[in-house]
Amino acid sequence: MKRDLYIITTVTNLHVGAGDINFDIVDNQVQRDAITKLPTIHSSSLKGAFREAFGESHATKYIFGSTNNDNDHQAGAFNFFEASLLSRPVRSNQKPYFIATSPEVIGLFLDFLNDFEIDFDSKIKEVLEKLAKIKVEKERPIIFENIRDTILEDFEATFRNENISDLDNFLGENLALFNHKDFVNLTLPVIARNYLENGESKNLWYEEVVPKKSKFYFAIAKPNNLDPTDAEEKLEGFEKRFDNQSRIQFGGNKSIGYGFCRLEKVSK
């Protein structure tokens, strides 16, 4: 199997619901990784969004497998792995936002590349390996542009003179490195939603969202032993449908613009 790495960049707010009953102030929470506690997109949610966007063709069942309406139980040839959070925007008093991550999150990403034997840009990987080794003090995030008196969320940032320009096209400009506990504890935006019946408010609830400009990473394992005819229809057909800079919607509330994302394959 060949494993390709993809980056999801949220263009609008994203809500992939956890589906759990809870008694917190926030009624509808996003999916979170059971270990890291960071937002995630489960593989079933990814696969469902891809299948819907791919549409029906001769290759659909081969790639994604049978549906409940089919009479057989054919498994999909492509394996979709869950998407993990790589970075997210945070508020700042100096710029509209900075892109936040942590050394531990970067370390998990590097482990993912190694575990899945993904062919990745060596220059970007080298810079990420340096960032993964940095020790960030609690409540003292690091920025890499010398801007005085920068506040990120409620924390005063410190400057570190490090050339990270190779990451501009990967993570984005204005990168900020947070202490991992601070990063995990960053709150997500909560939006009040109102249900109207005949113009009258009937119910108010609160929904957690992952903000636009956030990035997730995930892999798709694809067969690499197809004959040329099958490869053109079943493998290249998927690649052409979801080429670099494709747009796809994940999660719920599509009718109000949630979940609109840019998809980019970044493995070689």
* Same domain, yes or no: 103 and 140: yes
CATH code: domain of residue 68: 2.40.30
| Total domains in the fold of the chain | 2
Residue 206, pLDDT above cutoff 60: yes
Q: Give residue-wise pLDDT tens across range 64-118.
A: 988 766 667 778 889 999 999 999 999 999 999 999 999 999 999 999 999 999 9
Residue 32 included in any domain? no
- Which pLDDT does position 1 carry in this prediction? 85
Whether residue 93 is found in the same domain as residue 77: no
What integer pLDDT is reported at residue 74 of this predicted model?
79
User: Backbone phi, then psi, for 159, in 5-degree steps?
Assistant: -95, 140
Assess whether 179 and 100 both reside in one domain: yes
Q: What is the DSSP string of 10-64?
A: ESS-B--B------SS-SBPBPB-TTT-SBEE-HHHHHHHHHHHH-SSTTHHHHH
Same domain, 64 and 104: no
Closest CA to 14 of 207, 192, 169, 222: 207
Identify the pLDDT of residue 11.
96
pLDDT of amino acid 199: 61
The per-residue pLDDT for range 219-242, each reduced to its tens digit, is 999 888 777 666 766 777 788 788
Task: Write down the pLDDT at residue 22.
Answer: 54
pLDDT at residue 46, rounded to an integer: 95
Neighbours of 188 (CB within 10 A): 19
Percent of all residues in the chain with a pLDDT value above 90, rounded to a whole number: 66
Residue 5 has pLDDT above 90, yes or no: yes
Element (H, E) at 261: strand 260-265
Residue 233 in any domain: the answer is yes
Residues 153-177 have pLDDT tens digits of 999 999 999 999 999 999 999 999 9
| Domain carrying residue 75 | 1-16+43-81+212-268
Are the beta carbons of 17 and 251 closer than 8 angstroms? yes
Least confident of 2-16, 44-58, 226-240: 226-240
C-alpha span between 221 and 239 (Å, rounded):
13
Mean confidence (pLDDT) of the chain? 89
